[in-house]
Amino acid sequence: MIMSHPDNTKSLPALAPGPPRISAPHTSTGVSRPKKNSTACLACKAAKRKCSGPPGKCKACSASNLECLFDPSRDLRRKVAVKRTIQELTDHKDLLNVLLDTIRSADQFDCDKVVGIIRNSVSKEEVARVLGSPATKFEDSHGANALAILDDQDYPVEPLKTGTRRASDPRHITSSPEEIHVEFPQQPAVSSYARITLESLCDIPLFEVQAKPWTQVTDDDYLVSHLVSLYFTWDHPCSQFLDQGAFIAHMRRGNLNSEFCAPILVNSLLSMASAYSDSPDVLSNPGNAFSRGRSFFCEAERLWKAEKGRANLTNIQALLLMCCVLKFQGQVQQGWLMLRQAVRLAEEMGLLDVSTLSRPKNKMLPEIERVRTITAWGISHLSSELSLELQWVPAIVYPALDIKLCGDQDFDWTPYPRSNQITYDKRPACLPGVREGMAQITKVLIDVQNLIFQKGRGTAFEELWRQAEGPFDRLTAWLGRWPQVIELEREPIPQVLLMRVKCLHTIMSLFDILNDPRQPRLLQQAWYYQINAAEEMAQCLRIYRESYGLKHIPSQMVDATQTGLRILACQLDDSDELRQAFVELSRFGTALSKRFKRTADKIHEIRAQTLSQNLKLPSEAVALFDDPEHWEGREA
């Protein structure tokens, strides 16, 4: 059968016409995805209800026939709101600082005047103007809450999980809505310890350094930078065991083979710096204020054991810092043992050996020679101070290197954190001058050590007085050359103030040796010099308090404050000036006792002594000593 092919030329039947097309409109009528609003109108925000606007009037306001107003600055996800909140918090903080400083430093009449202004004034701007605060604009406390961004329970902000910096790092404040993950409330997303604080919002460390590879305790670069900045602001200028420039430069390089930076030194430094920090991250035990920096100290101890007594600059510097940590936490004898290890290493390296003076200079780089000299004088000063305090007479520790080899390199100094002082321009740190002053005081301390030795050998009391005339005359001459109290009021740099305090403390310690009840005439003379020194020291501390407050006090003021309190406690009936001096020292003593256990123990001892002897203390000192917050957890 033959199949026939279809005829392709045959046309197909026409299709039936379909329904007429409807032309598409020019504007789409499709349902678009509803746009989420980033903020509610003021009425909905006050009523805590959902808001359908903007744009246009929201449904709730339309139904209630209310005016619908939107304030974009109250959108917490906008960069402008973050900046505005920080500025408002800073203004309030500045006003509070000025108010507290005024109350502390003003007399009763001025204090009453300030209180009257606060009670009668209707605006914070007026109070700020009268007090001279730079803060000039404040939001109504019934309006937008300035703390909403810090503690918003309706829209908790989940902290970023990338990177190693804490939520309190100001560089992690988000600048766009995409950077914030918002979830509706189930439970607070941020713990009480991780909340952003005003201090951390305003805080920019002076020195940006890395945690790794220097410490295993934390990987938080911000925390390490914060602690390093605290150390070089408040502690280093008054002790100078290491070279600031060399240490910072080598720490930033991250080279573990550096001659000027090592993990043991960094952990020791962070342990000492933790005493100045209020960050909960430095507490080993959240319930014990004296556990600040303990984790860093334990890490430094572990690293020292691993060193097996190797002699180098970083090990010596670390041991000096560890000695200071132990001393200020009340473990003075353990600190002495740590210091003796540092002395032994320094002797091995020739830092304390006179034969080093004959060593050719071309065999040593200038930078190494400078750091060696700084460390040698730091050892000598600390050894002299501690031996005087313990009344021990070890072998005299005298540097083999001239103090002038330290050079005259200086740095700028400014209070850190900046919130500690409202306005403060950078000034010279005066590190070379402070080193020279410390060297002069160290030489006197070595002579005082000789007096202790002579007293132990039974030298006649009159002969001891005769030998003490030389150190006393040198200290008096030094006080005449160093800036006077009236000059220090104009240029109140902490380390310059401290050098005068150290000299006055040395005078008090000198006459402690010559304080013999069997010699009533000479005893009265010794008391006279001690009381005068304690009274002038209180003037220096007052200048410090009025300039920087009591939040950050160099640890080197601990010994002087304790000695001054002990001397004045039994002389309070002599004059109002001595009572005021005792109150000033009490302020410093109680402030230091919140950071250093050794001072807390000493204040507790003085408190018990005054109670047992029925001594009449000034009412201000009684209030400081009997503050229950001060003694809470002291034995922890």
The reported pLDDT for the residue numbered 174 is 38
The reported pLDDT for the residue numbered 398 is 82
Q: Is there a cis peptide before residue 213, judged by omega within 30 degrees of 0?
A: yes
Instruction: Read off the pLDDT band of 326 (50, 70, 90).
Output: very high
Q: Give per-residue pLDDT as tens, 568-577.
A: 988 877 788 9
- Cα distances from 18 to residues 14, 15, 104, 626, in angstroms, run 12, 9, 94, 99
Distance CA 438, CA 432 (A): 10
Which position has the higher pLDDT, 268 or 29? 268
**C-alpha dihedral sign at 617, 618, 619, 625:** negative
The reported pLDDT for the residue numbered 168 is 38
The answer to whether residue 178 scores a pLDDT higher than 80 is no
The reported pLDDT for the residue numbered 2 is 45
The reported pLDDT for the residue numbered 132 is 60
H-only helix segments in 132-208: 198-202
Q: Give per-residue pLDDT as tens, 63-98.
A: 877 788 877 666 655 566 666 777 777 777 777 877
The answer to whether residue 281 scores a pLDDT higher than 70 is yes
Distance CA 184, CA 615 (A): 61
Question: Following DSSP, what letter does each residue of 579-617 receive, concatenated?
Answer: HHHHHHHHHHHHHHHTT-HHHHHHHHHHHHHHHHTT---
**C-alpha dihedral sign at 524, 528, 529, 530:** positive
Q: Could you give the percent of the chain with pLDDT greater than 70?
A: 72
Residue 298: closest CA among 221, 356, 217, 225 = 217
* Neighbouring C-alpha atoms within 13 Å toward the C-beta of 115: 8
pLDDT averaged over every residue in the chain: 78
The reported pLDDT for the residue numbered 14 is 58
Instruction: Read off the pLDDT band of 277 (50, 70, 90).
Output: very high
Which position has the higher pLDDT, 435 or 82? 435
Q: Give per-residue pLDDT as tens, 331-384.
A: 999 999 999 999 999 999 989 864 544 444 557 888 899 999 999 999 999 999
Report helix, strand or coil for 181. Answer: coil
Distance CA 149, CA 437 (A): 49
